Amino acid sequence: MTTNVAAITETPLPLWRNRAACASLPDDMFFLAGDDFAGMKRAKKVCADCPVKDECLEFAILTNQSLGIWGGTTPNERRQIRRRWLRDLREAS
Ligand code: SF4
């Protein structure tokens, strides 16, 4: 994973978003209320075939997106990924 956080977070609208499978879908399909597991499953299905899934997930981890489905992951799943990533960074330094 990229470690150049500043370069990514300073980009207001990443260009990869133009190629996103969700570009023409409603935001509330990915930003769900409560524990809408059926909704999460629907959103994850869109992400599974998205050509920018990796870029999306990396952006969400690096910018600590705490809401919504990004790169096919829920907020809880990203928290775990981010925790591991930060641990690996600490161990590498
Ligand atoms: S991975 Fe999912 S949330 Fe991210 S851009 Fe693609 S469809 Fe949208």
Atom 3 in ligand 1: residue holding the nearest Cα: 70
What pLDDT was estimated at residue 12?
Answer: 64
Nearest CA to ligand 1 atom 2: 47
Q: Which ligand 1 atom lies nearest to the CA of residue 21?
A: 7
Compute CA distances 42 → 3, 21, 74, 84, 88, whole Å. Answer: 31, 13, 12, 27, 32
Is ligand 1 within 6 A of the CB of residue 70?
A: yes
User: Residue with the nearest Cα to atom 5 of ligand 1?
Assistant: 20
Residue 77 token pair? 């799943």
Is the beta carbon of 68 within 6 A of some atom in ligand 1?
A: no
Least trusted range by pLDDT, from 2-11, 23-32, 75-84: 2-11
The pLDDT tens digits of the residues spanning 17-65 come to: 999 999 999 999 999 988 899 999 999 999 999 999 999 999 999 999 9
